[in-house]
Each structure stands twice: as structure tokens, then as C-alpha cells.
Amino acid sequence: MSDSSDLLGGPADDTPGFDLGEPPAPPKSEAYRVLARKYRPQTFAELIGQDAMVTTLGNAIRRGRLAHAFLLTGVRGVGKTSTARLLAKALNCIGPDGQGGPTIDPCGRCEPCVGIAEGRHIDVIEMDAASHTGVDDMRAVIDASRMTAFVARYKIYIIDEVHMLSKNAFNALLKTLEEPAEGVKFVLATTEVNKVPVTVLSRCQRFDLRRIPAEKLADHFARVLDAEGVSAEPEALGLIARAAEGSARDGLSILDQAIAHADMDGGAVSAAAVRDMLGLSDRGAIRDLMTLLLGGDGIGALAALRRQYDLGVDPLGVLRGLLETVHATTLVKLGAAVEPGQATEEREALQGWAASLSFAALHRLWQLLLKGHEEVGRAAMPIEACEMALLRLVHASTLPDPGELARMIQNGAPMAISAPVAPVAAPAGASAEAALPASISEIIDLLERTRNIGLSLRVRHHASLVSLSGTDLVLSSARPLPSDLIGELAGALKSATARNWKITTADTPGAATLRELDAAQYESFKAEIMASPMVRAALDVFPEAEIADSEIESLMKQRSKSV
């Protein structure tokens, strides 16, 4: 039997064989392009969130009023370099038929458009100032800019991160930037415009690219996922959009990671997976923690914090979530529009807190959390510092503010302000009518006895009495009243007296508010003290001396006690 070489032909004989040639090479798989590069805007219509700039450039192109130098500034990832390339395409586009002129809607099919999009056009020179910072690099640019464009309508220099140029490089560029050769344009881009010399700024037409709103980013990410054939929960896209902080590139990078994090068998990008990937605290856990804090449950709050910490959540992330919750509650109390895509549970929780917390309490919570965030950020032991911040919140959030506290001390009010208090009952044998307050002063006393300290202060400051008869109270609206004062006051008086109150306003001057009476009494007492012989003698010796307000208040308090 012949060997295989005989069958196929070869050195054993001269019989022609079958030359199979080299085995075919396996097809090369196309390299994956990250979403941030794959979905880079190719037209101005695809540039999201920069409508004002696009309108200005479009008008300038249509009217032929093109600047010789443009400066694009904004945070990372908002589209500065993409805008520079789009501007180069817009100025050099010749249309599919080769007869077109500058346009805000470049065709994307002509040779200049294709070459610029692929980064190979000879007349569009991109330069990274971070790696070409010296004056010699600028001299090379200046020398080359003296020559007109080779094939395009305009020769365009795109200098990215221009703030990285040295002082000498900026100085070398100034004259050319102000009076470039005919047909030469400069497009400068920077994230730190404050580092660009004023002499350069004055020679450029400046465009500030805005941060892209989270809603527009979420919509953009949804379109990208549709093109990629990937599904995602709306809440997940919202989390990614907020984490991007206005940067489309950052958001697409996070989205790329989230897609890789999802299940391989067609699993959707879930909000839980995004939170886990970003190390964000779960919003449900934040709501539970907020409920524990407002309920004064310190042990429960610390346990909830530790559960988040054990899951890998950064303490700063927990405090940031609480700050966002307080901010959202305040907006709900103001009547702001509901955030798109907000979960029903979160919306109900925010509405409940908005109804039960006053603006003063919300501002106090914000300040305490903000202070805690600052402390944890520079603490040697972050989780312990976070625990102390939450405990401070538990014990301090229900206390009155300093103004209320001073008023309580002055009036001798009891300090157990957090204990629940039953409505004030009428004395035994007295009629219900006799138990009703008969003046603004008595109304304030009733509010203070029922621990409505904040409301009593607002009544003291704003309520100008026109008339009071039983449960019919008329206040003056000659001066603006807080919008929620009447409703809160009616509810508090009903709770305290077990009677329905009718509170109305009249556009007529009323009696002086108790705050105005207190101020008048204070000024009168101060004038009396200043007129006393002993004080006049002391001021003659020490003419620059002054009597502290706290001393005057102390003397007033002593007199009232003696009376």
C-alpha cells in the first residue's frame, strides 16, 4: 500500500497531486468598542443637552459670521471634543454632491465628513495640550498654520485641555490666535477655564457646555440599550444618570459596566445590581434608617447602619442618601413636582415626612447631616464617626432651635418637649366657652403648654389680631402672613380645645403683634436704664462702653419676677 504522500502526489513519483493550500484562517472578531466611543455624537442633533450652543453656531454658520477661534469649556464628558469635531465637519462639509457649503447639519457622507469622523483628515489637526505643553510645540503649530488648507475649505486646529499649556506657549500662540491665516480656525477645549489666560479668552468665542440633566441622560441610555438589545429597569437608568453627574461619557462607561454585571442569559440591568456595583446604599434601607432616626430609635439606627456597612456601603454614601432624602422631603413640602420614575413607596414616605415635619425641623436635619458628612469625610474612623453623627441626629433633631430654646427658658417652660401631651382640658365645673383663650397672648400660652413651640413663635411674630370671639378668630392680612400659618393654627387649636375654630383674615390694620410689643417694651426699658444717673455717670467715664443686650434682658426678667 502506498503511503499518503503517494496518494496525494509528491516526491515518491511524478503523479500530479491535490494541493489543498494553507488552511483558511478563522475570521477575526471585530474588536469591541466601548459605548462611549460607539455612540459618540455624529451630528449636532445627537449632541444632548446643548441646545443653546447649537442654535448659536447654526445661526453663525447660516449668516456667515464665523469666529476665527472658539473656546469650549465644561465638565468632563459633556461633549467638548465631540463638539469640536462636529464643528470641523460643519465648516468643511461639501455635501454628497460635492457642491455644499458650511452647514449646521453636515451630511456625514462626503470625504471631509468621513475623514474627520475617522480622525484621518489632513486639514483637521487634533492636539493634546497635556502632552504638548511647551513653546516649541506651539511654534510648530504656528508655522504650520501659515499654510492654507490642502484639500478642505478650512484648516482647523483642535487643541484639547488647552489649560495645560505653559505660560510661554500661551504667549507664543496669542498673535496667531488673534489674526490667523485666511482659512484657519482654532477650536480650544478645556475643563478648567479659570486656568486659561484672559488674553486668550478675549480672542475666542466662548461656549460653556452645560451639565446634562439626569432625565436626558436616562433617556439617552435607554436609546443606547435599545440599540444594543439590552433591557434595563428605569430605576437602574436613573441611578446611573445621577452617578454620572451630568457627564454622558461617565454615564456610558458606568452603563457598559452595568451591562457586563448583568446576567449572561438575557438578564436586565437591575437597580439592585447597579447599587451593588456602585456601592450605593439601597433607597429602601435609607428610608428605613430615616424612619428609625425620626422615631428616636438610636439602637435600631446603629444596627441599620452596620447592616449597610457590612454590605460594603461607604458611610459617606449612607449620609449622602439621608441628605438626598431630607432634600427631597423639603421639596415635597414646598409642593415641587414629583421626580420622574420615583417609586410609589418612596413617594408615600416623602409625603408622610413632609406632612409631619416643619420647615425648621427639616433645615435642622439638613444641617446636622451636613456636619456629619463633613466629619466622616475627614475622620480616622469613618464608621464610628458616622455612628456618632446619627446619634447626634437622634438626640438633637427633636430639640427646638436656639431661638425657641431661649424663649422657653425665659418663659420658664418645661424642657421635656418630646413627651406626648394630651389636649388641655377645661377646669372642672367650668364651661367650654370659659376655657377658650380670649387673646393672642392666651393663644400663645395654650400653644406653648401643648408643646407647639414653633407654631407659638410664628403666631407671636406674625399674628396681628383684628377680633376674637369664642372660636372665631380674625387676623389682619395688611402684612403678609405665612401661607400655612392659618391651617396649622386651626389644627393646633382644635386639638388643644376639642372645638372647631374658624380663622379668617381681613385686609385691615390689626393690633400690634406680641413680637412688636416685646420690642417696644425692650426699647422702653433700655431707655429707662440709659437714663438712670448711675449709668449716665458710668458712660461719662467710659464713653465707648455699651450695655449688652443680654444684660438688659436679664434685668427685664428680674423686674418681671419681682412684680
Judge if 353 and 438 occupy the same domain: no
pLDDT for 415: 45
| pLDDT score at 208 | 92
Q: Are residue 202 and residue 218 in the same domain, yes or no?
A: no
Decide which of 153, 179, 208 is a domain's last residue: 208
Last residue of a domain, one of 278, 295, 329: 278
Together in a domain, 173 and 82: yes
Domain span at residue 265? 214-278
310 found inside a domain: no
- Do the domain assignments include residue 11? no
Pair 160, 226 in one domain: no
**Residue 4 lies inside a defined structural domain of this protein:** no
**In terms of domains, do 154 and 56 share one?**
yes
Looking up residue 500, the CATH number of its domain turns out to be: 3.30.300
Q: Is residue 307 part of a domain?
A: no
Rounded to an integer, what distance in angstroms lies between the CA atom of residue 126 and that of residue 158? 5
Judge contact between 211 and 75, C-beta under 8 A: yes
Q: Are 191 and 100 members of one domain?
A: yes
184-190 sheet: strands from edge to edge: 124-128, 155-160, 184-190, 69-73, 205-208
pLDDT of residue 94: 93
**What pLDDT score does 417 carry?**
41
Cell output for 327: 432634600
521 and 485 belong to one structural domain? no
pLDDT value of position 438: 87
Contact (Cβ atoms closer than 8 angstroms) between residue 433 and residue 470: yes
Cβ-contact 124, 159 below 8 angstroms = no
The pLDDT of residue 280: 65
Same domain, 178 and 63: yes
Please state the domain count of the chain.
5
Is residue 113 in some structural domain? yes
Torsion over CA: 530, 536, 538, 541 (sign) = positive
Single out the residue in 396, 418, 452 at which a domain terminates: 396
201 domain residue, yes or no: yes
The number of C-alpha atoms within 13 Å of 68 and in the hemisphere containing its C-beta is 15
User: Does 256 share its domain with 223?
Assistant: yes
pLDDT tens, N- to C-terminus, the chain (563 residues): 444 444 444 444 555 555 555 666 665 556 778 898 888 898 888 888 888 899 999 999 989 888 999 999 998 888 899 999 999 999 999 999 988 899 999 998 999 999 998 889 999 999 988 888 888 888 888 888 888 888 999 999 999 999 999 999 999 999 888 888 889 999 999 999 999 999 999 999 999 998 888 889 999 999 999 998 888 988 889 888 888 888 899 899 999 988 887 765 556 888 888 877 876 666 778 888 999 998 888 899 999 999 888 877 889 989 999 999 999 999 999 888 776 556 677 888 888 898 888 888 888 899 999 999 999 999 999 999 999 999 988 876 555 555 555 555 555 544 444 433 334 344 433 344 447 888 888 898 888 888 888 888 888 888 888 888 888 999 988 878 887 888 888 888 888 888 888 888 888 888 888 888 878 877 777 777 777 776 676 666 566 667 666 666 666 666 655 55
pTM (predicted TM-score): 0.57
Tell me whether residue 426 is in a domain.
no
Within a domain: residue 459?
yes
Q: Which CATH number do you get for residue 239?
A: 1.10.8.60
70 and 185 Cβ atoms separated by less than 8 Å: yes
Based on the domain organization, do 186 and 326 belong to the same domain? no
- Going from the C-alpha of 507 to that of each of 87, 409, 488, the distances in angstroms are 61, 35, 20
Taking a C-beta distance cutoff of 8 angstroms, is the pair 264, 291 a contact?
A: no
> At 145, which CATH number?
3.40.50.300
How far apart CA 270 and CA 456 sit, in angstroms, is 49
Within 10 angstroms of residue 529's Cβ, the number of other Cβ atoms is: 15
In terms of domains, do 320 and 464 share one? no
Among the listed residues 517, 511, 522, the one whose alpha carbon sits nearest the alpha carbon of residue 555:
522
Same-domain status, 167 and 78: yes
